Structure formats: structure tokens, C-alpha cells
Structure 1
């Protein structure tokens, strides 16, 4: 079996900790067996390792999330990267073409697709292994995983099976009901309906044939080149609802969608994360603070307080699902991002008359990691090293940098930096348009950068 993990989303339901670059699956608020903070994606990857599925897994994601996935999973995951954001149908068929034409997977291979962030026990992934047998024995087009409901929820979609197929192995699907009212959900539960947790399987041949029928290329490189022209539609609408025969496997273990603050805080490692204090009279109150200043909560119960460089949220837990709609017009550039080499925080962004902008960042580079060899068209930069030791490359010349060193980098000048020890610097950008897209990367690999410097010196 091959697995495709779907990693997408803008994360606005968990604002201000999540943003366009850091979706909910990357928030380090859970606790692992070593009592260390971990994210949802790190938890899932560890579970896949436990059941022996990690080596068979690829992650389909967008360009904005690549660095964070590589950072949190130590570059262990095989990635399929969307050149532009579309929807789940384009993402899944791109990943399927990668398995077919790049990894040379057999057309008989069973491929399972799931979100990257389910909060489940390891038994969930063990149950997924049964989907291969269900597909083979039922001759179905699609096999789904359905969670046994524990209460009539209005938040989830329901899979309604045929009444005469009540076996534990699989059930033939009759229909789908999307987020019903509570009273209707209770009736569906009586009829044996299951929560749709977004997990499904198919034979690789099924998707490859579908691509051929639609006149789309099955070769990964060709499909990638025309990716922006693929229909922006979900896999459910484009494939699942049109399938002739669908079966569902019931799962009666623990499963939860940690998509809102009230559900996430139920599973968090602690009531307080970061600098701050919650007074004793507060009941069922959580404080998550990513700022360098303390936050104190007094006299408030059933409340979430979340503070990050992107903003501050104070909400009753019952109201927290509405965060997405309330902050819809507040979305700006991400103020904090994790990258493959470390992280950065935006400290200040000012715009002046005449069109000039100044952006100040604090940047952390992990020991042994490096920033790419790059230049900018629209901005100059001043770096002040505040911690650690590194090697600077500026216009092909190498030098050692240490705390208190100041480096001036003008527009068009080529530069790179490698951290010998954990290194931090303050970067002040100045220019007419200060955007991440104004980075022209020449080289990523440090060995190649060094070779270029040696060649220039000789």
C-alpha cells in the first residue's frame, strides 16, 4: 500500500498561531512520549513509522509549506509539490502520476489518501491496512474509512451504508450526507451511518485510467507543467460521488478533528505554553503565547488566549469556531515562519511616503544549515549578527561572521550564509517592494556554493 498525505489549508481557524505559511498541522502544542512539544504532522509521521508505513508515504503540499515540512520531519518525507494551489482532485492525481511515472508503482497498487493531521491512535493506521483487502474482495472503485460516531455532530459529513451489508469487513455505501442538523444526524446514527474522516483508497489503475479518459497526461512532469489548467474541484465531487461502487470500513477507535481552538485545547500538552500566568480561579482556560512578553489571564474561565507575531486572540471556547470569519479581512503577510534552515519573525514593517518600505526580521539559522545563494532586485539588506558563528558568502567571497558583525548587502549582490553553530541575526530590508518573491535563488547546496567561491578565487 502507498499513502498520500494531503497537507494544505491556510489555517485561519486557529489564528493567530496559524497563517498562510503555518497551517494547524504545524503548531507544536501536543506532547509526545518524551514529554516534548510536537505538531500534528510530527505525531502522524511518528505513528506511520510505528506501523511501518512511513517509507511508503508521500506528502502532497504547496510550495509555501515545503520548508516547514522538511524542518519538522527532518527532510525524511517524499514530497509532491503543487506549483499553484488548486484543490484535492488536482493534488491527488498529481501525486498518483508521481507514484506511477516516477516511483514506478504497479497499476495494481492500492493507494490510500488521508489528511496530514488526524488526531488518532496507532490502531487507526493499522485499520487502514485492511482497506487493501476490502478493495480486492469487494471489487469496488473506492474504499472509505468511516468513524463510528459517538454523538450526533453537525460538524462532520456522514457515510450511509446499505442496510443489508452490516459486516465488520466492509459495507456498501448507499449515499453521503454533508453536515446535517443534529436531529438528522441522530437519525443517521440509528441507520448505521459513519463519520466521513476524509480517508479513502483506490487502485492506482483507477486514477490513471481516469486521467486518460479526461485526456490528461499520466506522466508526472507533463501533468506538473499543465497543473494550473486542471479543474479547481475536490476529489469528492470529481471522483468519489461519480464512482459506481463504493465501500466503507468502520473504525470504532478514537478519532478527532482538531480544527478549532475548542477542540485543539482538549488535546493540548498543557494549559499554559509560553511566557505567562493563569490565575487559580480560571477554569478550563488555555494560554498559548509565542511572544517574548508575558501575558497574564485573570478571572476568565472557558477561554482561549493565543498570542503570536500575527496577532492576539481572546475568545470564549464556544465562540472560537467563528474565528475564521471574524479575521477574514485581517489576513496579512505571515509574521512568523519555519523554514528548512530555521525560522524568522517579523519585528516591524513600515511604509513611508514615496513608496519606500523598511522591514525588520529576527532570523534563526540552525547549526549546519544554510540560506541559499541569492540576490534581490527590489531591496538592500543590513545584517547584524547577534548570536553564534557562521560563514558568509558575499559576491563569491567567503568570510567568518560572529556576534556584532554588520554586513551591508546591496541590490543585486549575491549572498549566502551557513551557520556553524546555532546563529541569529537581525535583518533590516529597505526597498520599494519587500516581498518574499523578490528572492532569486542561484544555488541551494552549500558544497556547490563553496566550489563556486574557490573557482572565483583561483
Structure 2
């Protein structure tokens, strides 16, 4: 079995913890059976393994999410980077080409595609093997996962199976709640957004748009693929579709309202909450305390990107309000650790300063790089590491300061968990102001 996990989106509905580079699936707000915090993507990856599914797993994502995936899943998982965002059909097409040409998978192999952030029980993942069997046995060209509805929802699409059959009769996209209730009485089930098909099936569809014999040719001609969802481009055009129903816990953790329903604790971070609070969740990523007294049915979330105070039901409408917030991410997770912006000041002469607090994991390193329009000052506040500037290496520890001027090549490696403060000074302080070079640590 081959599994493609779709990891996309900016997660504006979970602002301020999510941003352009830190999507909702990377927020560590859940807990595993041992009580350790984990993100949605870590949970899904763990559950696939725990379901004893022997699968090649490929994560389809954009460049901005690569560091988060590597940080949370490690280097063993395959990652396919989309050249640009073009919806789910191109992402699945590119990943399928990767499986065929880079992983040498046969056209008869079954591919399963699922989102990276479903909240479900282990049987959800065991249902994948039933979908694989449907396609392998030739019951249909494609198999879908249907979710047994728990209420008439207008947020989901519906699958209407044929009577007394596992085959699909038709689809209904996001009906009104009244019509959804009628559909459910007639046997309709939620469309879980999970697909199964043979690899060669999709390769043939891709060749309608690109003449290719390698993964590189598909990637290089990515903009030739239509910018359209997999549902519209493939599913709605296919006549031979079966459905396998999953009965169990399943949630779309796309809003604060639904996410807080599955959180084990009502508070996270430095929080003071009174006993008079009811159904209140407070998540604080700041270094200052938050005190909440006597509230009911609200969520408070604070991060370097902003502060949210919302009625839980109203939180589902958050995206409309934050779509107009255009600022650089103030917190990012990288494969070497993480950083947060703690200060930004513009001065009268056109110069600006930006101050970051960085945490590096022991054994990790930042790439050998230079900047063309800014200087940097690094102050080591905890741990030890090796610093290289223009080829000269020295050991650094708490209290050491390094001055890095425009054009100087520099990198740092953490010999233990390392924390340092970085102050950038220049006329343009952009993450894109970076040129990388080769460097081999001894």
C-alpha cells in the first residue's frame, strides 16, 4: 500500500497559533496515550504505524511546510514539494509520479490519499485496507471512505450509495441542514475525503496534460496541470466508484470550537483560570501570564502573532476577520528548532531592527549562509555550540557575542540544546535575504 498525506493550507481558522508557515496540523495541542503533546500530523503518522499498515508514506506539501514536517516526523518520511500551490489534483498527481518513478512502484499498486489532519480512532486507518481490497479485487476503479453521520451537517459533502450495494450512486456537495437530514434518512454518508485507486489509473489521467517518463518532467511542467481539486477533476468524472463506511469518532479539527472538544486540558502555557469558568479553554504561547475569570463557552489563544478572545461558536467565523492581517510570521518551526520574533522597530533614517529568540536542538545546525542587506548580532544565552564566520570556527557558550556583517558567511551548530538572541539591523529585514553555501562540520 502507498499512502499520500495531503498537507496544505495556512490554517487561518486557528489564528493566532497558525500562520502562513505554521499550519493547523503542526500545532502540538493534542496528547498521545503516554500524555506527551503531539500535533495532528504526528498523531496521524503514529496511528498509521499502530494500525500495522505496511505502507510507503509520502507527504505532499509546499516548501514553507518542509521544515515543520522534518522537525515533527524526522527524515525517514518521503516529502514531495509542490513547485506552487495548485489545489489537490496537481498535488496528488505529482506525488503519484514520485511513487512510480522515484520509488519504482508498479502501476497495479494501490495508492490511498487522505488529509493529514483527521481526528479519528484506529479503526479509521484499518478501513484503508478495506478500500485497498475494493480496488485490488476490481470492484471499482476508485474507492472512497464514507463517514457515518452523527448529525445533519451543512459543512460536509455527502455520498449517496446505490441501494443494497457498495457502489456510489451520486454525490451532494454541502447541502442545507434540512436537506442533509433528508439525505441521511435515505442512507447518505459524509464524504471523508479519502481516495483509493491503482497507480497506473492516475498516471494515465496525468498524461492527458503532460507527456512524461520521469518524476522530474512532471515537476518541471507542474503548471500544465489544471488548478483544480481532485474531486472535480477525477472523482466526479469516474463512473465506477465504491464506498467503504467507517463508523467511529471522526472530527474535522478546523476551528477552535472543534479542536477544544478533543483537548485533554483546558489550559496550556502560563495560565491562571478561576474555578468559576465554564467550558473555557486558554492556550498561551507567550512568556507573560494570562488570567481568565468567570467566563463561559469561550476560547482564548495567545501567540507572538496575536491574541484571540472568542465565543466558541463564533470562532468558526474567524477566518473572515483575520484574512486581512498581513504580517510576517512571528513564530516558525524549523528542522533545527524554532524561533519567535520578540521585537521589531523602524527608525527615522529608514533602518529597522528585528529581534528573535532562537532555540536549537542539540546536534542540529543552521546552514552556512550570508545576507546582503543586513547585519546580525548573536548573543548566546544558554548551551554550547560551534560558530563559523568566513571559515573560522570557534566554540561559543553563554555570554558570548558574535557580530556578523553584510556578506559574511556564517553558521552555527548546537553541541547541546542552544538558545541565543539574534538582532538584525538593516534597511530591509526579509527572510528571503539569504544565500546558502556548502559547509562540512568536522
* Range into which the TM-score falls when normalised by the shorter chain: over 0.9
**What does residue 400 of structure 2 align with?**
405
Residue 242 of structure 1, aligned match among 237, 252, 261: 237
The answer for the alignment partner of 1:50 in structure 2 is 50
Task: Go from structure 1 to structure 2 and tell me whether the alpha carbon gap of 1:294 and 1:93 turns closer, same or farther (over 3 Å shift).
Answer: same
- Which portions of structure 1, spanning 4 or more consecutive aligned residues, are displaced by more than 6 angstroms? none
Structure 1 residues 217, 274: CA separation in 2 closer, same or farther (over 3 Å shift)?
Answer: same
Q: Distance in 1 between matches of 2:309 and 2:378?
A: 35
Partner of 2:97: 97
2:157–2:190 Cα contact (<8 Å) kept = yes
**Whole-Å separation in 2 of the counterparts to 1:250 and 1:359:** 52
CA distance in 2, matches of 1:332, 1:348: 13
C-alpha distance in 1, partners of 2:34/2:419? Answer: 27
Q: Which residue does 1:20 correspond to in 2? A: 20
Offset of residue 228 of structure 1: 3.5
1:183 is aligned to 2:178: yes
Aligned to 1:158: 158
**Residue 285 of structure 2 corresponds to which residue in structure 1?**
290
Q: What is the aligned partner in structure 2 of residue 128 from structure 1?
A: 128
Cα 1:84–1:214 shift into 2, 3 Å: closer
CA deviations 1:305-343 (Å, max 9, x no partner) are 000000000000010011100111113111111110000
Tell me whether 71-80 or 259-268 shows the greater mean CA deviation: 71-80
Q: Secondary structure at the match of 2:440?
A: helix
CA distance in structure 1 between the partners assigned to 2:347 and 2:224 by the alignment: 39
DSSP-derived class of the 1:449 partner:
coil
Contact 1:159–1:196 under 8 Å retained in 2: yes
Q: Which residue in 2 is equivalent to 1:85?
A: 85
Query: How many Å separate the matches in 1 of 2:270 and 2:85?
Result: 36
Q: Separation in 1 of the partners of 2:355 and 2:68? A: 21
Give, in whole Å, the separation in 2 of the partners of 1:331 and 1:236.
31
- Counterpart in 2 of 1:454? none
**Pair 1:364-2:355 in alignment:** no
Q: 1:240 to 1:354 in 2, by over 3 A?
A: farther
Q: Which string of whole-angstrom CA distances, capped at 9 and with x for unpartnered residues, describes residues 188-223 of structure 1?
A: 101111111110111101111112222342521111
Shift of 1:177: 1.1
Q: How does 1:19-418 map to 2 (within 5 A)?
A: 19-53=19-53, 55-165=55-165, 171-418=166-413
TM-superposed deviation, 1:425: 0.6
Cα displacement (A) at 1:150: 1.0
The more displaced of 432-441 and 209-218 is 209-218
Report how many residues are paired: 442
Distance 1:319 1:256, change over 3 A: same
User: Structure 1: how far apart are the matches of 2:324 and 2:57?
Assistant: 36
Partners of 2:196 and 2:245 in 1: CA distance: 14
- Which residues of structure 1 form unaligned runs of 5+? 166-170, 452-458
Quote how far apart the aligned CAs of 1:450 are: 2.9
Q: Following the alignment from structure 2 to structure 1, what is the Cα–Cα distance between the partners of residues 347 and 160?
A: 59
Counterparts of 1:150 and 1:181, CA distance in 2: 16
Q: Distance in 2 between matches of 1:434 and 1:55?
A: 43
Contact 1:140 1:246 in 2 (8 A): yes
Pair 283,83 (structure 1): closer, same or farther in 2 beyond 3 Å: same
Q: For 2:385 and 2:298, how far apart are their aligned partners in 1?
A: 43
Is the partner of 2:398 in helix, strand or coil?
coil
**Which whole-Å CA distance do the structure 2 matches of 1:164 and 1:306 have between them?**
48
Q: Is the 8 A contact 2:145 2:192 kept in 1?
A: yes
Secondary structure of 1:213's match? coil
Give, in whole Å, the separation in 2 of the partners of 1:366 and 1:421: 7
- Shift of residue 77 of structure 1? 1.4
CA distance in 2, matches of 1:179, 1:432: 49
Q: Distance in 2 between matches of 1:375 and 1:226?
A: 32
The 1-side partners of 2:201 and 2:76 are apart by 28
- 8 Å contact 2:370–2:435 — kept in the other structure? yes
SS at match of 2:413: strand
TM-score, normalised by the number of residues in structure 2: 0.97
CA deviation digits over 1:327-384, x for unaligned, max 9? 1111311111111000000011223344322111001111000000111122111111
Are the aligned partners of 2:110 and 2:136 in contact in 1 as well (CA < 8 Å)?
no
Give the gaps of 5 or more residues in structure 2.
none
| Residues 390 and 402 in structure 1, CA contact (< 8 A), matched pair in contact too | yes
Contact 1:346 1:359 in 2 (8 A): yes
Question: Match for residue 449 of structure 1?
Answer: 440
Structure 1 length-normalised TM: 0.94
